Structure 1
């Protein structure tokens, strides 16, 4: 999980070249790949087809016979998916000056393992416990990465940031602005309050009480206040945090996200909280979308709706906000203070996460497509564009989480001691308490009548 794609010398040369940065930056390639897939989805839909032909969506199965039938009928789609990702990522690897041969070999293995993970996640037993592909990928990656030595050539395809950024751009195409507006000012304000206050608590506690580096405390803060793993990676890259800081933040997010599934489910049932408020509480207090969906699904469709409005729409959009704000602070204050030199304002643009631009373009593009289409075709747009792009996003996140697990070493995490855990846990507890006050005590009627 490398934060820096190029050396400082190469980075300087690229910046002097101007437009060449568009072809030598992992951020920009995430934008190109994500938007290409979105445009492809729209073009195929206009042509009477669908991008679903390359999503390799495997339906739920319960027996070996049904699994065999599903695989045989979707073998072509799996091959097309592999070739599509292989070509797009190999082109990216070329411009990032990676070994194409090593990348192709290692990505092939990564893809095969991801397919096996997808097959497991579509098994009826796994779906019963909401074991989604990204979470399973993370668990398998962590176990394998800490038990099996990873060859250097295989690490070529473990491009965590590239995969997660592509996934975030695709996320924009699944969240049209019209849907965001439907969340309403109450939902957005609640999500904003949670995201801002929890970040400040973790950052303050981490830097003032436990003496953590501001970069480290910032990555912990966004991991616990916005969108867990994705936010930690995005902000870590924007502020040039250490690889170990991002890895520890991801580990703490996963640990608390899994723990919160059981804690929130128990408390909601114990207190008899209705579905709408229950989903809102989960949406304000869970750190990961997959874990939150797991908890909210236990309380029905109403809970899933309120959860989605607060977590997936309300809090996830803060990835870009925090990336920009913290990149600005890091360049103009933290790094400037340490180096004792004047910060270059242009560095803010170079450090700004470009994939957020892709996210916004994808969201606006789908909004326009929906707006200019007749009402009867909206369902067709959802089925042939948005739903398949969600599947592609899931594949991108599966690659991401598998790469995270394979590159995370528990031994390196223990070197930082108990302080990161204490800082993050303080914010997590604050988050849960504030989420209860807002969702159940103050806004109960709003969420109940949604």
Structure 2
């Protein structure tokens, strides 16, 4: 979560952190709020057209399934105008937010053009009829391609403005709300919160306990603990500010999150496939055990795509994987960032600062929770509530035959584009050479939490709360 996403390498992560601080001081809002605005604007436009008898289907274009290059070329040529219109729409809307955040708009647009074209090629490869046989799902292709390019070549600095990992993932999550009715959140939300609470508390205390046993500073131990227990990068940044940890400690925590998030984005879907887990259960396990929203969404979407293309290979609706992930991660785990920031700010102020003789400056009011709370979650809930209201005006048959294909499906297509921008940006901003300076003690402490997190996530998802996750999408 920006609270959500996977970061880039340590050096870029530190620079991004500084940029994030500057953005929060801008007079025209924050990245969180602009993500909410962009996502809700897209949904509003889609509904306005739907209500007037139209649709954004022509704009929300994607390659059709193909088996030979001739068919692919014909399809791309036939929809060239739609692709250009889609690029223009994304570039204009995103540029408004980029300008408001005080970032270079021209650099963003030029870099985004490359991101868009590469994403279109990734979509095309994912639409190949044999793609599922080789596990060539667009999220994993985007991440893997980005990692190869960034670690074999040097990505030009001028593209940095367009590699907005957290902004893309926040917009995508707001759009995701349009495909996740509020009734589903109300029904499964308590289960997700209960499961997330168990995992968050257990993982934090395991990492913190091992770190303290290894003589790691208590502030650093807290940053590592929450980074593993909640949502990785943003959690580490938020907790570092709350307990006043050193900048290099935050960078190490971010690096460890990056390492394990990349491992899990490939490992969890593969393990789920080998175990034959239904889509809802696999999504819940991924949501419980991943360390970043962007990586988790890539894994959950890849598993759902596998279920969609490899008919009968696993049980459950293809969309249930992503739905379960969002309920588990965004609705469940991510809300803990504010709780941990508030609680640890108090501990750092009343105990740790006094133990070290430091001047007490950390604020410990209820406002801290709101400051740390991921605002894009509000956009997600608004989108979900709005679509629930729309659905209430139709019968179930009408919703599936009219509302879904004309209103909801195009929003889902836009969401998939935005997620692909995010996954590609993750890969292009991650360099393995920068991930080798973490040190053995922090690595040991964080890895202990990873082991506990994965095992508990499996037990809770596959056994304890399995009936709830199995029922998703039915």
TM-score, normalised by the number of residues in structure 1: 0.81
State the match for 1:321 in structure 2. 335
State the match for 2:229 in structure 1. 221
Change in 2 beyond 3 A, CA 1:333/1:394: farther
Change in 2 beyond 3 A, CA 1:368/1:208: farther
After the TM superposition, which of the residue ranges 368-377 and 182-191 deviates more from structure 2? 182-191
Specify every segment of 5 or more residues in structure 1 that has no aligned partner in the other structure, as ranges: 15-19, 223-230
Q: Does 1:402 align with 2:424?
A: yes
- In 1, Cα distance between the equivalents of 2:95 and 2:335? 30
| CA root-mean-square deviation | 3.4
Q: Does 1:178 align with 2:183?
A: yes
Cα offset, 1:84, TM superposition: 0.9
Q: Secondary structure at the match of 1:150?
A: coil
Matches within 5 A, 1:171-210: 171-183=176-188, 189-190=194-195, 193-194=198-199, 196-206=201-211, 208-209=213-214
- In 2, Cα distance between the equivalents of 1:146 and 1:244? 19
State the match for 2:361 in structure 1. 342
Cα offset, 1:37, TM superposition: 0.7
State the match for 2:409 in structure 1. 387
Change in 2 beyond 3 A, CA 1:429/1:29: same
State the match for 2:93 in structure 1. 88
The answer to whether the Cα contact below 8 Å between 1:164 and 1:396 also exists between their aligned partners in 2 is: yes
Q: Deviations over 1:377-414 (max 9, x none)?
A: 31222222222222212221211122222222212211
Q: Deviations over 1:120-140 (max 9, x none)?
A: 222223233443322221111
- In 2, Cα distance between the equivalents of 1:310 and 1:91? 32
Cα offset, 1:36, TM superposition: 0.3
State the match for 2:235 in structure 1. 235
Change in 2 beyond 3 A, CA 1:195/1:187: same
Cα offset, 1:373, TM superposition: 3.4
State the match for 1:246 in structure 2. 254
Q: Secondary structure at the match of 2:131?
A: helix
State the match for 1:227 in structure 2. none
- In 1, Cα distance between the equivalents of 2:349 and 2:135? 43
State the match for 1:228 in structure 2. none
Q: Secondary structure at the match of 2:61?
A: coil
1:417 alignment partner, one of 439, 443, 468? 439
- In 1, Cα distance between the equivalents of 2:263 and 2:122? 20
- In 1, Cα distance between the equivalents of 2:119 and 2:392? 36
After the TM superposition, which of the residue ranges 125-134 and 362-371 deviates more from structure 2? 125-134
1:141 alignment partner, one of 142, 146, 151? 146
- In 2, Cα distance between the equivalents of 1:125 and 1:106? 31
State the match for 1:378 in structure 2. 399
Q: Deviations over 1:328-373 (max 9, x none)?
A: 3455444885663333445543443221221121111111111233
State the match for 2:5 in structure 1. none
Q: Deviations over 1:259-307 (max 9, x none)?
A: 23334444x36xxxx8589658855765324434555737433375775
State the match for 2:10 in structure 1. none
Q: Secondary structure at the match of 2:37?
A: helix
Q: Deviations over 1:151-178 (max 9, x none)?
A: 3222121222211111121122221111
- In 2, Cα distance between the equivalents of 1:11 and 1:201? 32
Q: Deviations over 1:233-279 (max 9, x none)?
A: 4435544584553353133112133223334444x36xxxx858965
State the match for 2:157 in structure 1. 152
State the match for 1:33 in structure 2. 38
The answer to whether the Cα contact below 8 Å between 2:193 and 2:332 also exists between their aligned partners in 1 is: no
Q: Does 1:301 align with 2:334?
A: no
The answer to whether the Cα contact below 8 Å between 1:210 and 1:423 also exists between their aligned partners in 2 is: no
- In 2, Cα distance between the equivalents of 1:260 and 1:254? 10
Q: Secondary structure at the match of 1:125?
A: coil
Change in 2 beyond 3 A, CA 1:282/1:77: same
Cα offset, 1:327, TM superposition: 3.7
The answer to whether the Cα contact below 8 Å between 2:29 and 2:101 also exists between their aligned partners in 1 is: yes
Q: Deviations over 1:43-64 (max 9, x none)?
A: 1111212222222222222210
Change in 2 beyond 3 A, CA 1:221/1:103: same
Change in 2 beyond 3 A, CA 1:128/1:376: same
State the match for 1:5 in structure 2. 19
Q: Secondary structure at the match of 2:154?
A: coil
- In 2, Cα distance between the equivalents of 1:232 and 1:185? 22
State the match for 1:226 in structure 2. none
Structure with greater helix share of residues: 1
After the TM superposition, which of the residue ranges 160-169 and 124-133 deviates more from structure 2? 124-133
After the TM superposition, which of the residue ranges 168-177 and 341-350 deviates more from structure 2? 341-350
After the TM superposition, which of the residue ranges 388-397 and 198-207 deviates more from structure 2? 198-207
Specify every segment of 5 or more residues in structure 2 that has no aligned partner in the other structure, as ranges: 1-12, 242-246, 291-295
After the TM superposition, which of the residue ranges 338-347 and 366-375 deviates more from structure 2? 338-347
